[in-house]
Amino acid sequence: MTRVMVVEDDEDLRVAVSAALRAEGLRVDAAPDIAAADRVLRAADFACVVFDRMLPDGDSLDYVRARRLAGWSVPVLFLTARDALADRVAGFEHGGDDYLVKPFSVAELAARVGNLCRRSGARPSVLRHADLEMDCARREVRRGGVLLTLSDKEFAVLEYLLTRAGLAVERAELIEHCWDSATDPMSNVVDVVVKRLRRKLQEPELIHTVRGRGYLLGTS
């Protein structure tokens, strides 16, 4: 599942933006300041980061500029109330890939983030295993040529299993990559989604349980 980060200190805006991006099928992590975001950004891979410019612990432009100098290449979209030309130019000159002035349309923001995610190459175009085919760009899954209807979470879990085909994937790893960080790792959400996937994929079975480990996408 394509993963993005939203760094915004206004809680209402942070929640609204995160919800809009999740509705587009993205996995969203959110943080209220640079320090909290930095801890997550250094521990996981992201396809795009949305930064409010002015945060409680500083201007995110300075953070992005420093990370760029160290070789960080994740696409960044800046949000700001600053609409002067000099501010927009500074955003691009110091590592921003896009710049959106407040107030903005959440739908436009989601479209811009989707474009940056595609530009980052976070998703391969098509994943295949046996007679299963997933077109990530179109969000279509077919088995034996038959189009399947999957929920966003089912799509995310199957996508991750496809990228690890032939390898045992632990439940905690699936939660890490397909759910938000607030999800309880001891919950049964993974098992519920896998059960639904098995039913939709039908026979012969492709998703196998590896006792004590998790799940493996293999052959019958």
Can you list the alpha helix ranges (DSSP code H) found in 85-181? Answer: 85-93, 106-119, 152-163, 171-178
> Can you tell me the mean pLDDT for 27-51?
92
Domain that holds residue 193: 126-217
Q: Using the 8-state DSSP alphabet, how is residue 187 labeled?
A: S
Token pair 């279509």: residue: 140
> Can you tell me the mean pLDDT for 107-115?
86
Residue 189 CA to residue 179 CA, distance in Å, equals: 9
Q: What is the pTM of this model?
A: 0.57
pLDDT digits (tens, 9 = 90+) for 141-186: 999 999 999 998 899 899 888 888 888 888 888 887 787 655 655 6
Q: How far apart are the first and last CA of the chain?
A: 25
Please tell me the total count of domains within the chain.
Answer: 2
Q: How confident is the model at residue 194 (pLDDT cuts 50, 70, 90)?
A: very high
Pair (110, 147) in one structural domain: no
74 pLDDT above the threshold of 70: yes
- The continuous run of DSSP H or E covering 38 comes out as helix 34-41
Single-letter amino acid code for the residue at 53: R
Residue that is last in its domain, among 119, 144, 162: 119
Q: How confident is the model at residue 197 (pLDDT cuts 50, 70, 90)?
A: very high
72 pLDDT above the threshold of 90: no
Pair (147, 77) in one structural domain: no
